[in-house]
Amino acid sequence: MSTPAIEILGLTKDYPVGFWRKTMRRSLDHLSLQVEDGEVFGFLGPNGAGKTTTLKLLTGLIFPTAGTARVRGRSIDDVAMHREIGFLPEQPYFYDYLTARELLDYYGHFGTLSKTARRERVTQLLERVGLASAADVQLRKYSKGMLQRTGIAQAILRDPKVVFLDEPMSGLDPVGRREVRDIILELKKEGKTVFFSTHILSDAEMLCDRVAVLAGGKLQGVGAPGEIMSVEVHAMDILFELPPGGSLPASLAGRVTPIGGRCRMEVPEAELYAALEQLRRCEARILSVSPVRPTLEDYFLRMVGERQTASRGVEVAVR
Amino acid sequence: MSTAPMPVAVNTFREAVRDRVLYNLVFFALLMIGAAILVGQISIGIDRLVIINLGLSAISVFGLVMAIFIGVGLVSKEIEKRTLYSLLAQPVRRWEFLVGKYAGLVLTLVVNTSFMTLGLAAALFYVGRPFVRSDALILVAVYFILLELALVTAIALFFSCFSTPMLSTLFTLGIYVTGIFASDIREFGDLTKSPGLKALTRVIYYLVPNFHNFNAIAAVSHGEAIPLALVAQNTLYAALYVTLLLVAASAVFSRRNLK
């Protein structure tokens, strides 16, 4: 059996809070999951769910209170693990007195690339992320989107096998998001494992082989986006027009949403035919009947709603 | 031997240059020009002494300001601005980062001090050419200043690993001032009849670096020779303290959570 790309085993993180720092706030609660080689894995959750904490733990920026993790078989405490990974922090900020070329060249020193190979790689990456024309402009003059692209370039600089991206589409315009999506898909084609956190669910649905939903520091579910969506109760969406002067019976009127000259109504699947019969009696013109496909967003919001209290963090007194 | 500190050091130096830190040289140059012109008019026979005293003191003060104010931000600024996140995700150990930052600032101080020394030499040449043999002693005083700056930088870096820039500045300045008066503090303890106070002043004396030993400005300006043994002693003393401080800073920083 091949080694998983990422293996997280009971990872827990508590932060001390308060003036005396004797109270602990749990940011991540016994997270365990496994990401296979070559997967694009989405890590979903609202703000404060523990997504960034997980990524910081995996990249060695913070240290776990309990549990451990391995990336391609190497412990996260091992500096050699960093040769296997690339990381884009959330809202990346780089040395703004450097140009993008200088920044990438600087980070390139920490790998095994020779000077010539490093220069070639930097030039190639700058072209790949669309920054070739601004390569020699100081980063302080870059827009947010350009900084994000610089961040992605540095994350894949050493051609890592596993790429961690923390909210890679955050703050980008639709074109920028599309570009980042394309890069993630290219990385997948190259056989890389991409682990990215996001709260833009359409991106996760579009890109991910599997997703995990996190709320209140706890894992709520893991699976293919399709699997997660299938747990929802189905409903039917009816679009119709009433004849001039027509009106709906009281039993339906409260469920209808007018849209322009038309009406939309969502009914449980079991009540579909009864609702259609009532609309027929009112001489309504049925324009469409379609199943309401539950989205990842529905699942996400339901989970978050259920865990609203938990998402504010669990306080554990220090003994 | 790890090579990772090297690019970090070069980048730290580059940051100082691009942030126009070396502009302080302009002020130093103006000070030296002003002093050279003024001293020639108001002092008779002691113009060299005044210029050497003023020049070396200015080199020390300018260097100290740089060492403390840049030193306390070496780590904390990187954490605050989050530039450290992407850097430490690279295969760089935390101690390598610290050593690189330290070396980068020391390199900046060496370059800065070298230019200021040239400025001092130019002022001396202006007030009383040609150079005399004892002027070479100025280089020893400058070397001692550099040792002092290296030590102050290590103290600032140490505090920068776990404290805010404001508190780090206060701590570093506090240790520096205490270090200048370390011998006096010990003497004070010896003069009191309280064993507790005597023990306390002894602890302070041995714990805090004795910065007084690095001050050769008065001796050099009077043309007094500096014993070679003192040069060796100061070099070893500074090297030992810097090593201890860097090890302590690495120990603190290696388990620090970067929130």
* Phi, psi values for residue A43, rounded to 5°: -120, 105
A45 pLDDT band, cuts 50/70/90, is confident
Decide: residue B19, CB within 10 A, 0-12 exposed, 13-18 middle, 19+ buried: exposed
DSSP 8-class letter at A245: T
**Which residues belong to CATH 3.40.50.300 in chain A?**
6-84+160-230
Question: Cβ A97–B86 below 8 Å, yes or no?
Answer: no
| CA neighbor of A147 nearest in space, from B81, B164, B249, B9 | B81
Rounded CA gap, A149 and A172, in Å? 10
Report pLDDT digits (tens) over B161-217: 999 999 999 999 999 999 999 889 988 888 888 888 999 999 999 899 999 999 999
Q: Let me know how many helices (H) and strands (E) chain A has, helices first.
A: 10, 15
Q: Which residue of A has its CA nearest to B11?
A: A106
| Percent of all residues in chain A with a pLDDT value above 70, rounded to a whole number | 89
Q: Which phi-psi region, left, alpha or beta, contains residue B136 (left: φ > 0; alpha: ψ -120 to 50)?
A: alpha
Rounded CA gap, A98 and A106, in Å? 9
- Tell which wins on pLDDT, A313 or B125: B125
Rounded CA gap, A90 and A155, in Å? 12
| Percent of all residues in chain B with a pLDDT value above 70, rounded to a whole number | 98
Partner residues linked to A15 by β-bridges: A25
Question: Do B215 and B57 meet the contact criterion of CB atoms below 8 Å apart?
Answer: no
Decide: residue A229, CB within 10 A, 0-12 exposed, 13-18 middle, 19+ buried: middle
Rounded CA gap, A33 and A29, in Å? 12
Rounded CA gap, B75 and B73, in Å? 6
Rounded CA gap, A126 and A152, in Å? 10
* Phi, psi values for residue B60, rounded to 5°: -65, -45
Asked if pLDDT for residue A200 goes beyond 90, the answer is no
| CA neighbor of A219 nearest in space, from A10, A41, A39 | A10
Neighbour-count burial for B140-157, b at 16+ CB within 10 Å, e otherwise: bbbbbbbbbbbbbbbbbb
Decide: residue A36, CB within 10 A, 0-12 exposed, 13-18 middle, 19+ buried: middle
Question: Cβ B92–A82 below 8 Å, yes or no?
Answer: yes
One-letter amino acid at A145 equals G
**What would the mean pLDDT of B136-152 be, rounded to a whole number?**
95
B123 pLDDT band, cuts 50/70/90, is confident
Q: What is residue A214's three-state secondary structure?
A: strand
Find all residues with CB under 8 Å of A160, minimum gap 6, and list them.
Answer: A83, A84, A85, A86, A192
Task: For residue A203, count other CB atoms closer than 10 A to its CB.
Answer: 18
- Which of B66-80, B122-136, B191-205 is least confident? B122-136
**Which residues belong to CATH 3.30.70 in chain A?**
235-292
The confidence score (pLDDT) of residue A65 equals 96
A224-230: Cβ within 8 A, 24+ apart: A225/A42, A225/A296, A228/A296, A228/A299, A229/A293, A229/A294, A229/A295, A229/A296, A229/A298, A229/A299
Q: What is residue A21's three-state secondary structure?
A: coil
Out of B86, B90, B92, whose CB is closest to A94? B86
Out of B15, B81, B85, whose CB is closest to A61? B85
Task: Report which secondary-structure segment, H or E, holds A204.
Answer: helix A201-207
In the structure encoding, which two tokens stand for residue A59, read together?
């990249």
B254 touches chain A (CB under 8 A): no
Tell the CATH topology of A6-84+160-230: Rossmann fold (3.40.50)
Query: Which of B 66-125 lie inside 8 A of A, CB atoms?
Result: 81-83, 85-93
Domain assignments of chain B as residue spans, ordered by start: 5-253
Report pLDDT digits (tens) over A2-24: 789 999 999 999 998 888 888 89
B43 pLDDT band, cuts 50/70/90, is low
Rounded CA gap, B220 and B133, in Å? 12
Find all residues with CB under 8 Å of A47, minimum gap 6, and list them.
Answer: A199
Q: How many CB pairs under 8 A join A and B?
A: 75
Q: What is residue A51's three-state secondary structure?
A: helix
Question: Cβ B91–A82 below 8 Å, yes or no?
Answer: yes
Q: Where do we find the tokens 């980070």?
A: A107
A232 pLDDT band, cuts 50/70/90, is low
* Phi, psi values for residue B26, rounded to 5°: -65, -45
Question: Cβ B83–A83 below 8 Å, yes or no?
Answer: no
Asked if pLDDT for residue A317 goes beyond 50, the answer is no
Q: How far is B25 from chain A (nearest CA, A)?
A: 21
Contacts of A97 in chain B (CB under 8 A): 14-15, 18-19
Mutation for A interface: B70, B78, B90, most A CBs within 10 A: B90
Rounded CA gap, B142 and A308, in Å? 64
Out of B81, B91, B259, whose CB is closest to A79? B91
Query: Which of B 8-67 lie inside 8 A of A, CB atoms?
Result: 11, 14-15, 18-19
Give the right CATH number for A235-292 from 3.30.70, 1.20.1630, 1.10.3470, 1.10.1200.
Answer: 3.30.70
Alpha helices in chain B (DSSP H): 5-18, 24-42, 47-71, 76-80, 83-88, 94-128, 137-160, 165-180, 182-191, 195-207, 217-221, 228-253
Question: pTM score, two decimals?
Answer: 0.84
Contacts of A80 in chain B (CB under 8 A): 91
A147 pLDDT band, cuts 50/70/90, is very high
Question: Do A233 and A227 meet the contact criterion of CB atoms below 8 Å apart?
Answer: no
Question: Do B219 and B59 meet the contact criterion of CB atoms below 8 Å apart?
Answer: no
**What would the mean pLDDT of A203-223 be, rounded to a whole number?**
89
Contacts of B257 in chain A (CB under 8 A): 15, 61-63
Decide: residue A129, CB within 10 A, 0-12 exposed, 13-18 middle, 19+ buried: buried
Partner residues linked to A289 by β-bridges: A238
